[in-house]
Amino acid sequence: MQRAVALAIDDAQLQRWVTAAMAGLSGEVTLRLVGAEESASLNDRYRGNAKPTNVLAFPAEPLPMELADDWLPLGDLVLCVPVIAREASDQGKALEAHWAHMLIHGCLHLRGFDHATTTEAEAMEAEEANLMSALGFADPYGEQ
């Protein structure tokens, strides 16, 4: 993994969290670690919100069956290093736990989860809490 931004989390941890969140799907998830300026630009372009955000998810378009094989592109995640660090600090969370949560959150978006409605948000948060627990972390929505 090539990095443009320094990160205190190693590649093996990132891969472990993504693998757990993708629930056995075979394929490739691309991670791009960015600063606040690039995050704000992408967030503005794709979501109409000109401020940096913790994670943006871009699910891959399905390939035609004749091109599909066992190793498909699953999507891209853009993670904003300074936003994630600031959120962890502001929320009193360990940086490692918040990184795991943001990767899980982004991967669930790649898998089709959303939080636009209360029902969707509850289902997504429950899945996030289950995955975090399986990885040895506390419920990210529980009491600090």
Closest to 85 (Cα-Cα) out of 16, 6, 142: 6
Look at residue 108 and tell me whether its pLDDT is greater than 70: yes
| Domain locations in the chain as residue ranges | 11-134
pLDDT level of residue 56 (50, 70, 90 thresholds): very high
Look at residue 5 and tell me whether its pLDDT is greater than 90: no
**pLDDT by residue (tens digit) across 83-98?**
999 999 999 999 999 9
Look at residue 3 and tell me whether its pLDDT is greater than 50: no
The fold for domain 11-134 equals Collagenase (Catalytic Domain) (3.40.390)
Range with top average pLDDT, 1-15, 20-34, 84-98: 84-98
Look at residue 25 and tell me whether its pLDDT is greater than 60: yes
End-to-end CA distance of the chain: 32
38: tokens are 């690039």
Beta-carbon neighbour count of residue 110 at 10 Å?
21
- pLDDT of res. 117: 95
Q: For 20-24, 43-47, 117-121, 131-135, which range has the lowest pLDDT when averaged over its residues?
A: 20-24
Cα gap 77→31, rounded to integer Å = 5
